Amino acid sequence: MLLGRGGMADVYFGALKGAEGFIRPVVLKRAVGGRGATAEQAREGLIQESRLCGLLNHPHVVHIYDLFESEQGLTLAMEYVQGTSLQSLVELLREEGGQIPWAVASRMGADVARGLHHAHHATAPDGSPLAVIHRDVSPKNLLITEDGVTKVADFGIARSSLRELTATAIVKGTPSYFSPEQARGEPLDWRTDVFSLGVVLHELFSQHYLFLKASPIATMKAILRESPPPLPDTIPRTVRTLVKHMLTKRVDQRELSMGEVADTLETAIAGRGGSERDVAQFLQAECSAQIQARRQRVSELLTGSDLLEGSSPEGGALGKHGAMELEGTSTWVALERALDHGKRLEKTVVDRTGAPNREKSSQEDTVSDQTVLDQHPYDPGNDDPGNDDPEDRYSEGPSDTPPGNDTVVDHPAFPSAKE
């Protein structure tokens, strides 16, 4: 099932098939050039992502299963997480007027912090630090399993010692979750992820966007200049203090590790309804029908009578129908929307005893999607080096919309602070 097309890869829902009826649902990412990157750049990007993620092994990080060649190109197989993204969860609650209890949100935050702590401290086989930075810690990349375990997904734009630095003309990530140093296009370290997770937690606790504005320029200005409003008194003081520290704008004063974030949150929720079991029960109460429908749809894809068998590791055709553009959304949200809205489906089977094959479902409806700005094409390299105020690069010009981005929408989960 082709989920969508990004600048460097096509993404599919698929299955890894082995001997004696073994089958595992997976998400497949195939390197494709010609849409913002050459074929060689797309291939190298996927290789670097696989090398990095292959060295991460943690229950709160989405796993990588395999990197393989086929006639269709280099393909990365990733864990399919049965559950929901945090983005989809808060969108559903927004529609129904509900919210996530602070202890449940804190459990999710602690899980994310544990996963990121592992990534920040991961080492290469020779023991050298990988210096991983995720750079896009946002609700669309946080996945919650039916068992109540939250996982960090999509290290595709992560920076580490294993990969070359991104060109300075592109600042990558989701703008409303940028750190101030990320918004300025400055060098980053693990503390940018601390700030981004602080934004996520503040929004979950307050039920309002923190920095999102009508344009990316206004959003950048808010990140750089606006102080976060106080959290409600219903949130324990230790948690409020933690989030305030995480949102410190000066990076040299944001000196807390993700391990410390997790420790503080876990201490606050101990015995107060903040276990993974509590998260699972909350999901069951709020979105069991949605998750069950997705599970049924996945089962139909995996066990349909039209399952094709291949005869060689190469060959087969990957589908090209009904895809959405992935710039601005995530692999996981695209998958959820395809399963929820009856998008035309094509199943890709990676058969270890045969060939990758394509299968079509009878559903022909396509899924609509709103574009979220994922790549922020400001060029800090073009700024006047004598300019002492980096914030001036976001001064209002003739248009608030950066070139090449006609629609700028973050996930519509929370009301703005004005509502």
HSE-up of 157 (CA within 13 Å, CB side)? 23
Give the range among 152-166, 219-233, 254-268, 270-284 with minimum mean pLDDT. 152-166
Helices (H), 17-173: 39-54, 86-96, 102-120
DSSP string, 329-368: S-HHHHHHHHHHHT---EEEEEETTS--EEEE-S------
Q: Which amino acid is at 364?
A: E
**355 contacts 316 by C-beta, under 8 angstroms:** yes
Which CATH architecture is the domain 2-82+301-360 placed in?
Answer: 2-Layer Sandwich (3.30)
Quick one: what percent of the chain has pLDDT higher than 70?
68
- Top mean pLDDT of 68-82, 364-378, 391-405 is at 68-82
Predicted local confidence at residue 305, as pLDDT: 36
Closest CA to 83 of 325, 286, 343, 304: 286
Q: Please give the average per-residue pLDDT across 128-141, as a whole number.
A: 92
The pLDDT tens digits for 16-45 are 888 888 888 888 888 887 666 788 888 888
The pLDDT tens digits for 171-205 are 567 899 999 999 999 999 999 999 999 999 999 99
Predicted local confidence at residue 114, as pLDDT: 98
Q: How far is CA 361 from the centre of its chain?
A: 27
Predicted local confidence at residue 23, as pLDDT: 85
Q: Exposure pattern of 26-57 as b/e (b: 16+ CB <10 Å)?
A: bbbbbbbbeeebeeeebbbbbbbbbbbbebbe
Can you tell me the distance from the alpha carbon of 231 to that of 209, in angstroms, rounded to the nearest whole number?
12
Cα dihedral across residues 30, 33, 36, 41: positive or negative: positive
Tokens representing residue 263 in the block: 């420790």
> Secondary structure of 243-264 in the HEC alphabet?
HHHHCCCCHHHCCCCHHHHHHH
Active site (catalytic) residues = 136
Predicted local confidence at residue 336, as pLDDT: 78
Residue 8 has pLDDT above 80, yes or no: no
Predicted local confidence at residue 298, as pLDDT: 84
Which CATH architecture is the domain 83-277+372-394 placed in?
Answer: Orthogonal Bundle (1.10)
Residue 166 has pLDDT above 60, yes or no: no
Tokens representing residue 158 in the block: 């992560």
DSSP string, 248-316: -SSGGG----HHHHHHHHHHHHTTTT-SHHHHHHHHHHHHHHHHHHHHHHHHHHHH-TT----SSSS--
Residue 112 phi, psi dihedral angles, 5° rounding: -60, -45
* Domain locations along the chain: 2-82+301-360, 83-277+372-394
Predicted local confidence at residue 301, as pLDDT: 78
What average pLDDT does the structure give for the chain? Answer: 76
Residue 360 has pLDDT above 60, yes or no: no
Q: Which residues contact 155 (CB under 8 A, 6 or more apart)?
A: 49, 52, 53, 56, 119, 132, 134
Predicted local confidence at residue 246, as pLDDT: 98
Can you tell me the distance from the alpha carbon of 362 to that of 348, in angstroms, rounded to the nearest whole number?
15
pLDDT-derived band at 266, boundaries 50, 70, 90: very high
Residue 110 has pLDDT above 90, yes or no: yes
Can you tell me the distance from the alpha carbon of 109 to that of 127, in angstroms, rounded to the nearest whole number?
28
What residue ranges in 63-222 does DSSP mark as E strands?
A: 64-68, 75-79, 83-85, 142-145, 150-152, 171-172
Predicted local confidence at residue 42, as pLDDT: 84
Helix (H, G, I), strand (E, B) or coil at 113: helix
pLDDT-derived band at 272, boundaries 50, 70, 90: very high
Residue 116 phi, psi dihedral angles, 5° rounding: -70, -35
Predicted local confidence at residue 138, as pLDDT: 95
Lookup result for tokens 């420790």: 263
Predicted local confidence at residue 172, as pLDDT: 62
Residue 412 has pLDDT above 50, yes or no: no
Give the range among 177-186, 315-324, 354-363, 405-414 with minimum mean pLDDT. 315-324
Higher pLDDT, 395 or 275: 275
